[in-house]
Amino acid sequence: SSCRGEQDSLPVEGAGGCGCGKLKRAADESETATKDPADKYSSEANERTSEASEDGNKVQSQMVLIPGGEFLMGTDNPGIPADGEGPQRSVHVDPFYMDVQEVTNQQFQSFVGATGYVTEAEKFRDSFVFEGILSDSVKNQITQAVAAAPWWLPVKGANWKHPEGPDSSITDRLNHPVVHVSWSDAVAFCSWANKRLPTEAEWECACRAGLKDRLYPWGNKLNPKGKHYANLWQGEFPTHNSGEDGYVQTSPVESFPANGFGLYDIVGNVWEWTSDWWTVHHMTDHQHNPTGPPSGKDK
């Protein structure tokens, strides 16, 4: 994802259902090891070039400097309260670099080729796929679903190389964002690329791009002047995606306009990981470079 991470409601972030757990864009990691883990979140630890480069077998995305600063994180009027986006709170983050695009299949393929890494979906031998993009032959083999979200189906053999199961491939999707990548997989990729996952606060700061009290990274209208700004679900969820934005599944990275900081697909296309532990309980006191709970059960 690559290595960017937080998600909102499925119709907004799910891009018509691309697999579970997406690897996203990475905030830049320090080039030198530090004894204090908190140091990697400081502006000093993030002072390095933002230009695209190739280091050996590593394929690196162009990065942009996110100026950081103080912003209002979360909302007091969440669309889905269970997502834990409230309450709104004042947060300050230091400047950092972030990939301009989501991690692509080609980039992840380079990582796997250089390291021999095996993803968790490959180890588990299955992963969840959105029902609407599966072939009939694959759906006929499935006998169970997620009770609370029956449109997600466990597909044997689904992984980053085979997004919809064994009868699919990424051959014609090398410039699409990689999918079926767990949090641990995302961390492994970022470590190999000398980067890290952004915190949730960093991700939201980057997403908002300096805008205040706006529904989307580009303003309050979903489709200003009839133009699509992200790969989102259109139609009746979860039964029909009309694909009015040009895509029923994932789209190539940079297919839609960037936000004010120059980040593409910061909303839509696929879900994105952050480094924080999952929680619905947030402090309302002003925070500086928050990193989330010290421990938890879910990412």
pLDDT tens for each residue of 90-108: 999 999 999 999 999 999 9
Give 105-117 pLDDT, tens digit per residue.
999 999 999 999 9
* Strand bridging mode 27-28 / 63-66: unpaired
Centre a 10 Å sphere on the Cβ of residue 227 and count the other Cβ atoms it contains: 11
> For residue 99, which of 70, 58, 69 has the smallest C-alpha distance?
58
What is d(CA 275, CA 263) in angstroms, rounded to the nearest whole number?
A: 19
Strand, coil or helix: 206: helix
Any domain includes 230: yes
| Whole-prediction pTM | 0.82
pLDDT, residue 26, reads: 57
pLDDT band of residue 81 (cuts 50, 70, 90) is confident
**Cα separations in angstroms, 136 against 132, 149, 151, 173:** 10, 19, 14, 21
Centre a 10 Å sphere on the Cβ of residue 115 and count the other Cβ atoms it contains: 13
Domains identified in the chain, total number: 1
CATH (domain of 74): 3.90.1580.10
Angle between helix 105-115 and 183-192 (nearest 10)? 70
Domain of residue 73, residue span: 10-120+173-288
Contacts 24+ apart (CB under 8 A), 217-225: 217/259, 217/260, 217/266, 217/267, 218/257, 218/259
Instruction: Read off the amino acid at residue 231.
Output: N
Give 254-282 pLDDT, tens digit per residue.
999 999 999 999 999 999 999 999 999 89
Any domain includes 1: no
Any domain includes 150: no
The count of C-alpha atoms lying within 13 angstroms of the C-alpha of 76, restricted to the half-sphere facing its C-beta, is 6
